[in-house]
Each structure stands twice: as C-alpha cells, then as structure tokens.
Amino acid sequence: MLIATLCKKMTRLLFLGALFVAVFAKRTFKRDQVLRINAKDDAQISLLKELSEQAHLGLDFWMEPVHESLPVDVHVPFHSLQAVRAFLAYNQIQYQVMIMDVQGLLENEEREMLKYNAFPRSTDDFVYSTYHDLKSIYSFMDMLVAENSMVSKIVIGKSYESRPLNVLKFSTGANRPGIWIDTGIHSREWVTQASGIWFAKKIVTDYRRDPVLTDILNKYDIFLEIVTNPDGFAYTHSSDRMWRKTRKPNPGSSCVGVDPNRNWDAGFGGAGSSSNPCTETYRGPSAHSEPEVKAIVDFVKSHGNLKAFVSIHSYSQMLLYPYGYKSTPAKDQAELYQLARKAVTKLWSLYNTYYRYGSIITTIYQASGGTIDWTYDQGIKYSYTFELRDTGRYGFILPANQIVPTAEETWLALMAIMEHTKNNPY
C-alpha cells in the first residue's frame, strides 16, 4: 500500500520533471499567470506543498497551501504554465486563472502610478499632461534649478499659511530688464499652474535652440511664479476643488479668504469688487492686505525694471489689457490692442482655438483692484491677463489631456508679447 503511494508520488514528480525543462530566462512577467487553486482535501494540499518545493518551476506562492478551506494563489511564470496546469489536471485539482497576464497588469499600474503618483527623477521624467499637487510642483522647480544653470529660485515671501512663494528666474546675465509671468493666482484655475510648469520647461528647452527666445533671454530675465496662491491651491486638493481666494480668515466673519485679483491698489474699493467677505470677489480689508499680493508688489517695486507683466487665469479664452476698474481707455490702448490681436492670431494658428481680446472692462466685466491695472499704472506698459481654455463646457475642471495643447498655444501668444517687448524697448 505504502509502496504504491510512494510510486504514485514518484510518478507524479517524474511526470513533472519530464514534462518540463528549467529555462532561466530574463525576469519579465509577460504572459505569466496567477492561478487560484482550490484544494478539496488534505491529500491535495500535500501535493501542492510538494509542487511548491520544485524550485526549477520558479513558482511564487502569494498564498501558500495551508488547508483545504483556504485558496492557494500562485504566480506561475509562463515557461512553467503548461507543466503546472498538467499537474493540476492530472491530480484533478480545481483552479481558476485569477490574472491572465501579470506583465499587462504591472504596466497598467505603472502607467497609473506615473500619472498620479509620480516620483520623477528629472524634469524629463515629469508628466506634463496631468495635474500635480503642490509638493510635486515645488519638487519640479527644485529639479529644474538643479538641471539648469540659467534657472534660479527666488522666494519672494510667504503665504498666509506660511508656504513659500517661489519664483523661478531665468537669466543669462546680470542687470537685465525683466518679464514677469504668473499662474495660479486663483487656485481653482488648475490649467494655469499646469501650463506654468510646461512654460518653465519650454524656456530651458528652447534656449539656444529657438533664435527668438534666445534673443529675448540674452536681453531680458524671465520671472515665472507658477503657484501664486499656494494656500488656495492646497485647499483645492484637500477640500474644495472650486476654491478661488486666499485662505486668510476674515475677522468678524465665518467666511475665509480674499480675492487676490481684487486686492491690488488700482481703483481699490470701487465698483467691480465686493465688500462682503463671503463672496468670491471680496477685495480684502485694504489694498495689498494679502501676503501673496504684497510679495509681488514688493518684488516689482524693488526690481524696478520690469517691462512686461502677464497674469494668467482661466477660463473664457481671452487676452485682456487694462483697465478693469475704469472705462477710460489706457493711454497705450491702440498698441495694446494691436499686440493682443497679433498674439491671439498666433495662438489660434496652432489648434484653431478662438480667443476674444480687448480691455478688461469692455470684454469681460468691470473689476477693481486687479493685478494688471496696478502694474500698468506702475509703468509696465505691456501688462496683460490671459483667460485660458475653455469657454464653459468644462470650465475650471479642464480635462488633463488639454493641458499640453493649451500650454503650447498659449506659449505662442506669450512669445509674441515677449518679442514685441524686446523689439520696442522703453
């Protein structure tokens, strides 16, 4: 009886050995499967234990054979599949295929991880076609600085919740006039911060490759503040995707935050902003009361030589110039109009995206205490505001696959503005 059992066992093992040759191939998981085996009795469990001892099969038990009441999960390399299945069939051990192709699953997971949980090692690794959180964007900035000697990071201040206000400086020489670009002053306008990241990479990529940009950078510094309202941005990730303002509490009110684009000292307090802290266009207790705004004001004043200032928002697909707080046309209205038309035509040339352009007050609405009204009155002639894609279909929650096309087309408009600035020094 015992000999018979032993012989049977031997046969099974020989069967296995004979059926299969160990091939130690490169470690890939292509066409590997994961089987879920349901042993019906103790004898089958013993067999499975023996199977697990066949090292040449390269089996990886995710759930070891323990008891017939528990499933046994095993990752079977492709080269052992036929042997293992034959073994199971011969011994009438029931099983199902849990994972058809381990490699496929890993690749999907890797794709997902890269998309949303990226730990890029360089800005070439960074995924531009997805939305990132604050930590990821700040780490991008540090990587960009580390990779490029022409880029440095300036901390112009701290937000209300003490987050650093980081500005990237692109510079090829000292004592140059400057061009300023900011994105994300309104935190829910996610395509703007995402575009800012893309612009940063574009600048370092195109320097010394694109003659126009190279010429601009040989005469001007570019300052880029990607997350102009980091407290609000963090809040859009943690709590409310539709948050617009800063996160500073308002004394005497349960409502938080000030609209940073109504807080500037240009027509401050006039029509086109609100005195109610619970509204989205609340101007704040006084001009420049918000640290996020004050930091830029201080920077602009101390720099003293900025020649263009572009503040980027979404959505509506517009390119706007001053004024927002009054209907008096800007004294450079004619030139600003022509340049806007040129920039918008360049933008449209890429993907047929249609932009409207004009002064803020005529094109979108009256708005007081706005950024570019202040910068214009400081003497920065080429002061513009963009409203990026789209026109309301997705609005603030623009699909991530539109980030790069939006950034690409907007860049053409920015280049038009920067080039004109360079060609028309004042």
Partner 1 sequence: MEVFWLLLSLSLLELSAALPGSHSTRRPTDPAPLQSQTQTMATGDLVPTHFPARRAAQVALHHLNTHHGSPFRVFGLQQVHTATAEDQVVGTAGRKYSLDFSVTDYGSSVCFRSMTNEGSVLRCSAEVLFPRTETHTHTPPEVHLRCEDLTHISSSPEELAFYQKHTAPHSAISAHDLPDSQGNISQDMQPFWHLARVAASFIMLRESSENTEYNMAQVANLTQQETSEKQLMLKYHVLLHDIVSQEIIHWKLLCSWSPEGGVSVLETEWLPKCPHDTGPPTAN
CA 24 to chain centre: 42
Tokens found for residue 65 = 């054979």
Sole binder of partner 1 in the list 50, 73, 101, 280 (CB under 8 A): 280
Asked if 349 touches partner 1 (CB under 8 A), the answer is no
Q: Which residues contact 296 (CB under 8 A, 6 or more apart)?
A: 156, 182, 225, 228, 371
Looking at residues 182 to 211 of the shown chain, list those that interact with partner 1 (rule: CB under 8 A): 190
- Rounded CA separation 281/301 (Å): 25
Sole binder of partner 1 in the list 23, 122, 399, 424 (CB under 8 A): 399
Asked if 389 touches partner 1 (CB under 8 A), the answer is yes
- Whether 225 sits among the annotated catalytic residues: the reply is no
Asked if 364 touches partner 1 (CB under 8 A), the answer is yes
Looking at residues 290 to 319 of the shown chain, list those that interact with partner 1 (rule: CB under 8 A): 316-317
Asked if 249 touches partner 1 (CB under 8 A), the answer is no
Nearer to partner 1, 58 or 272 (CB): 272
Q: Nearest approach, Cβ of 151 to partner 1 (angstroms)?
A: 28
Q: Nearest approach, Cβ of 335 to partner 1 (angstroms)?
A: 19
Sole binder of partner 1 in the list 402, 413, 418, 422 (CB under 8 A): 402
Asked if 285 touches partner 1 (CB under 8 A), the answer is no
Looking at residues 219 to 238 of the shown chain, list those that interact with partner 1 (rule: CB under 8 A): 236-237
- Of the listed pieces 76-84, 158-166, 210-218, 348-356, which binds partner 1 according to CB under 8 A? 348-356
Q: Nearest approach, Cβ of 400 to partner 1 (angstroms)?
A: 5
- Rounded CA separation 282/256 (Å): 10
Asked if 254 touches partner 1 (CB under 8 A), the answer is yes
Length of the chain: 426
Sole binder of partner 1 in the list 100, 108, 354, 379 (CB under 8 A): 354
Q: Measuring CA to CA, how many Å separate 68 from each of 39, 59, 398?
A: 5, 19, 52
Phi, psi of 15 (to 5 degrees): -50, -45
Asked if 278 touches partner 1 (CB under 8 A), the answer is yes
Q: Nearest approach, Cβ of 353 to partner 1 (angstroms)?
A: 5
- Of the listed pieces 82-90, 227-235, 378-386, 396-404, which binds partner 1 according to CB under 8 A? 396-404
Asked if 390 touches partner 1 (CB under 8 A), the answer is yes
Nearer to partner 1, 193 or 316 (CB): 316
Q: Nearest approach, Cβ of 285 to partner 1 (angstroms)?
A: 16
Looking at residues 126 to 145 of the shown chain, list those that interact with partner 1 (rule: CB under 8 A): 130-131
| R_g of the chain, CA atoms, integer Å | 31
Asked if 273 touches partner 1 (CB under 8 A), the answer is yes
Asked if 353 touches partner 1 (CB under 8 A), the answer is yes
Query: Out of 189, 387, 409, 419, which one is annotated catalytic?
Result: 387
Strand pairing partners for 47?
Answer: none
Looking at residues 38 to 97 of the shown chain, list those that interact with partner 1 (rule: CB under 8 A): none
Residues 183/228, Cβ–Cβ less than 8 Å: yes
- Of the listed pieces 73-81, 143-151, 241-249, 413-421, which binds partner 1 according to CB under 8 A? 241-249
Nearer to partner 1, 32 or 189 (CB): 189
Q: Measuring CA to CA, how many Å separate 356 from each of 71, 364, 419?
A: 64, 10, 21
Nearer to partner 1, 5 or 276 (CB): 276
Q: Nearest approach, Cβ of 232 to partner 1 (angstroms)?
A: 13
Sole binder of partner 1 in the list 38, 274, 333, 345 (CB under 8 A): 274
Asked if 279 touches partner 1 (CB under 8 A), the answer is yes
Asked if 149 touches partner 1 (CB under 8 A), the answer is no
Q: List residues binding partner 1 (CB under 8 A).
A: 130-131, 190, 236-237, 241-242, 244, 254-255, 259, 271-276, 278-281, 316-317, 327, 351-354, 356-358, 361-366, 389-402, 405
Q: List residues with catalytic annotation.
A: 387
